Chain A
């Protein structure tokens, strides 16, 4: 086992021409191992093939990435950052960037991000979710909004058009729901969690005009929340088995295995659905922006500089260099060439000829269209994971049928929110 070294490094600034990154990079003198805690991403796995390149660029440093699935990664990063701080780089996301930034667990990225790596090239939506309190905290690895992804063959056979409004979608879902033939109308997420069932419920809530807070006063206990929940529960009658307590994996798995007619999911689904290696419905898939009035769930995941493990500026600079390199145009180009659709974040890559050649004009148009309805649906506060997870439990109880009164659930959440705000003032 490779021994775990604390990153002991120093950075000496001098200009060198770097052929590998095709731009003038600051030559760094980094040593030791940069430890990264992340969740599995194909792009990161691909990155591990280029350790030598980073060693040359950094002046000798290596990196090690530990992977945990989303919920475990969130718990582990929180525990590590608040206690021993073993990791130099954390994979964080839109839901916990406010918490990590306000607690001082991560450092402002742009103070240590080499200018020539062109942060401004990232998709503006992703830059927005990486920003909290006026500062940028992570460089995106993945992100985007939502798309309505549907089975063209099933819709054509039923003689219906792809829905553009929620009412149309409900009708089509009901029409295509044929469990006896192994086809379910839709796939939703029932598993509790701010990034699971609540994530898929929020487009309804925001689409119906819901708001989370006005200052410190909860505003979510509203007609919009009741209507959103009723709609979500109604649609769940047509959701594939296993999704009632499932998350992204279960919904996407049901769709790519050919058992679901349509679903509104995060944009990376498209990459999986059109890839014959991971999908049985490749070639039969169409995509559109989410039906009106649903908003798209704007999100972004990326790499941030851990504060505790990088005790001095030199260490932070090395972590910043690693992040810049890992999310650079060159590495994103490699991900594009490896057909890793969900790992693309840079405007220059998504508007490139190679992208258009690989994915066709339809997807480019759908992504551009969905960008117009993509919004930040969650409450941008360090307290969001706590509130979102609590609503996730209540929502899962409603989905599973162990509670039936929506208003009672919202009242409970409002009481919880008031306590939460009071406790943190």
Chain B
């Protein structure tokens, strides 16, 4: 149906124009300088074609960062959804209305905390000498537990903090989604002697497929921006064990080298890969 007034366009045009400038100008500039050899300390720089992109594929830190980023995505998205669904169902099944209210409030607290603050709190909590999380292990075994210093456990440990923030928040959303479902299908399933887990596995969750997929996409996009959490907790270490693509790009651009063209090349590749992968997944799983 055709709009009878141009008012929506009048109101939409300015913010859309601002958004377009904010989004496209930096993107276009990043693409432009990725074909140059610009460094922070040298404002000149010349056109180098695809050299930055070719160099990336022989850079072991870049290859490692791709692997770490993929692992991070899979870990955080999967664990967040599993925790959210499990807690959401538990609250829906066992908690009274009053208890649900209290738990909802508590579950929202982690995600309200600024990421940097949360990262500092957890970094201290995981400290092998003073940390509250590692204290029971130290008390029982007499040995300190240094989870953030081991390449085998560091990424998983940081991922747990991410899941703590987002899994609890998503659990509240899952609970609210379950509360919106009509009771009849549940009653019908129970009349057919479905066990509790079967009610959720075969009735409730399929009914929530669309919003759960949306939640998964939101988390996938959010997980791409893990920089603050990783930067505070491990700075990409030990070694390069938790160095994600955004972390490595920032290191190359601002911490170590000032190679902003090289860092932009990484950012452009990351943007392309994200766009392609997300489009493919979206097309395949679209409810």
Contact = CB atoms under 8 A, between A and B. Distances in A.
Contact of B258 (A78, A192, A245): A78
Interface string A66-79: 00000100111011
Contacts of B258: 78, 82, 386
Contacts of B250: 75
Interface stretch (A16-24, A144-152, A164-172, A392-400): A392-400
B277 to A, nearest CB: 28
Contacts of A259: 129
B142 interface: yes
Q: Which of A83, A102, A393, A397 has the most CB of B within 10 A?
A: A393
A393 B129 contact: no
A241 B144 contact: yes
A180 interface: yes
Interface string A130-143: 00000000000000
Contacts of B150: 400
Contact of B149 (A83, A99, A102, A244): A244
Contacts of B143: 179
Classify chain A: how many residues form its interface, as a range: 35 or more
A72 B143 CA distance: 33
Contact of B128 (A105, A242, A396): A242
A343 to B, nearest CB: 25
A241 B131 CA distance: 11
A191 interface: yes
B80 to A, nearest CB: 25
A399 B237 CA distance: 11
Contacts of B267: none
Q: Which of B130, B148, B239 has the most CB of A within 10 A?
A: B239
A82 B253 CA distance: 12
A191 B235 contact: yes
A244 B40 contact: no
Contacts of B222: none
B61 to A, nearest CB: 8
A401 B146 CA distance: 14
Q: Which of B142, B143, B146 has the most CB of A within 10 A?
A: B146
A71 B151 CA distance: 22
Contacts of A190: 149, 238
A78 B259 CA distance: 12
Interface string A94-105: 000001001101
B239 A403 contact: yes
Interface string B228-254: 000000111111110000000011001
Interface in A242-278: 242, 244-245, 254, 257, 259
Interface in B249-287: 250-251, 254-258
B127 A242 contact: yes
Given A75-B254, A180-B142, A245-B234, A400 B241 contact: yes
A257 B150 CA distance: 24
B237 A400 contact: yes
A382 interface: yes
Nearest to A102: B41
B148 A245 contact: yes
B170 to A, nearest CB: 30
Contact of B238 (A78, A244, A389): A244
A385 interface: yes
Contacts of B257: 386
Interface string A370-410: 00000000000010011001100110110111110000000
B264 to A, nearest CB: 14
B239 A99 contact: no
A371 B234 CA distance: 34
Contacts of B40: 78-79, 82-83, 103
B79 to A, nearest CB: 23
A394 B240 CA distance: 9
A417 to B, nearest CB: 13
A240 interface: yes
A78 B239 CA distance: 23
B36 to A, nearest CB: 13
A400 B129 contact: no
A179 B254 CA distance: 39
A104 to B, nearest CB: 9
Interface string A179-199: 110000000001110000000
Contact of A71 (B149, B235, B241): B235
Nearest to B127: A242
Nearest to B55: A419
25 contacts: A74-B255, A75-B250, A78-B40, A78-B258, A82-B40, A82-B43, A82-B258, A179-B143, A179-B144, A191-B235, A191-B237, A241-B128, A241-B149, A242-B146, A259-B129, A389-B256, A390-B256, A393-B239, A396-B237, A396-B238, A400-B241, A402-B151, A402-B238, A403-B239, A423-B37
Interface of A: 71, 74-76, 78-79, 82-83, 99, 102-103, 105, 179-180, 190-192, 240-242, 244-245, 254, 257, 259, 382, 385-386, 389-390, 393-394, 396-397, 399-403, 423
Ranked nearest first, the 4 interchain pairs of A and B with the lowest CB-CB distance are: A397-B239, A400-B238, A241-B128, A241-B144
